[in-house]
Structure 1
Amino acid sequence: MLSAEQAQALHGKEGDDCWNPAVCYSRRSYARHRDRINQTRSRKRKEGELEHIPVQFEPLNQVVFGVLVVYRRTGSDTPVHAIGAEIWQGQEKVAIVPPVHCAGMVPSQVHTYVGKMLGVLEERYGVRKFASQTQLDPGLCAIRPCPLHG
C-alpha cells in the first residue's frame, strides 16, 4: 500500500536493505492488479475447458445478406455522417458498398440513397432489405478527405 518512494525508503539502503528493483516493481504491480490478472487467467482457463462443437449446415453458407453501416454519433437527433454497406455470404464478407458522406443531405435524400443502394444490391445479390444495421462513431470514418479529419 506504500508508494514506490516510501517502500524504497523503508526497504532500501537506509532501511532493511531488501529492495531489489529487478523483482520488487513487478511484485508491487502484481499486488495492485492481482484481482484483474486472476480474473483474466480464470476466464481463459474456463474457455479452454469448453468444448467447441462445429455444426455443418450447408444452407447457412448459401445465405446472402446485407448489413447497413451508418457512421453517426449516438442519439436520436444526431445527423448521419456517412453511410455504406457490407454484403455477406454465410460467414464471409463478399462485397462492400464504400461509404459516402451525407453532409448536406436531408433525411429524405439519405433514405432515397439507401433505397437506390438496395436496388443495386437486389440486382446483383438478391438482397431486398438489410438484415441488420451497424452504427459506428464518425471518428472511425475511413473516407478521405473527411470534414472530421481535416
Structure 2
Amino acid sequence: MAKMLPEKCCKCAMLSAEQAQKLHGEAGDGCWNPSVCYSRRSYARNRGRINQTRSRKRKEAGLKEIQVEFEPLNQLVFGVLVVYRSAGTDTPVHAIAAEIWQGQEKVAIVPPVHCAGMVPSQVHTYVGKMLNVLEERYGIKKFASLTRLDPNLCSIRPCPLQA
C-alpha cells in the first residue's frame, strides 16, 4: 500500500509557497526542503485529479479503439467562444476570441480582442457582431460551446498582464 502524505504536508500545501517557507523554513520549524516540498505540495493539492487520470488510463489501456466513419460529422461546422477570464462569478472578461471547426479540424479563428474598459453590454454587442460575421461566412447562428481560459494565457501583445 502507498505511503500516505503526512497531515502536516497536506495542510502546508494549502498555503502559498511564501507562507509555507515562513512557517516551515529556517525561521519556523525547519522542515522546508526545496528539493522535495514543491513537488509534494503540488501533488497534495492535485492528487485527486492525478489519481483519477492514472486510474482512467489504466482502465483504457486494455480497450480496443473502434473507428466509426460518419460523413455528416465531417461536414458539421461549429464555433467555440473562447473567453479569457479569471475563475469566479464576478470577474471581468479580459479578452474574447473564437474558433471555427469543421468536423475534427480547426478551420478558422477570430483573434482575441482585449475587453478592458468595455462594459458588459459592449462585450455582448461584440459577441453578437462576431456571430453575425460567422453566420454570413459559415452559417453559424450560435456558439456550440464556451471555453474559459486564464487571462495569463492571453496571446495578445502588448498585454497589460504581461508587463
TM-score (norm: length of structure 2): 0.65
Where do 1:1-150 residues align within 5 Å? 40=54, 46-150=59-163
- Following the alignment from structure 1 to structure 2, what is the Cα–Cα distance between the partners of residues 47 and 68? 30
Give 1:76 deviation, angstroms: 1.1
Identity level (%): 79
Q: Which amino acid aligns with 1:75?
A: G
1:97-119, CA deviations, whole angstroms, 9 ceiling, x for partnerless residues? Answer: 00000000000000000000000
Number of aligned positions between the proteins: 114
Distance 1:127 1:43, change over 3 A: closer
In structure 2, stretches of 5+ residues that fail to align are: 4-49
Radius of gyration: which is bigger?
1
Separation (CA, whole Å) in 1 of partners of 2:80 and 2:56: 31
Alpha-carbon distance in 1 for matches of 2:72, 2:59: 32
In the alignment, the residues of structure 1 paired with residue 58 and residue 125 of structure 2 have an alpha-carbon distance, to the nearest angstrom, of 50
For the residue of structure 2 that corresponds to 1:117, the secondary structure is helix
Given residue 130 of structure 2, which amino acid in structure 1 is its aligned partner?
A: M
Alignment-mate amino acid for residue 91 of structure 2: T
| CA distance 1:55–1:140, change in 2 (3 Å) | same
Q: How many angstroms does 1:44 deviate by?
A: 5.0
Q: Alpha-carbon deviations, 1:9-45, whole Å to 9, x = none?
A: xxxxxxxxxxxxxxxxxxxxxxxxxxx9xx95x8655
In structure 2, relative to structure 1, the CA distance for the partners of 1:59 and 1:148 (3 Å cut) is same
Structure 1 runs not aligned, ≥5 long: 2-35
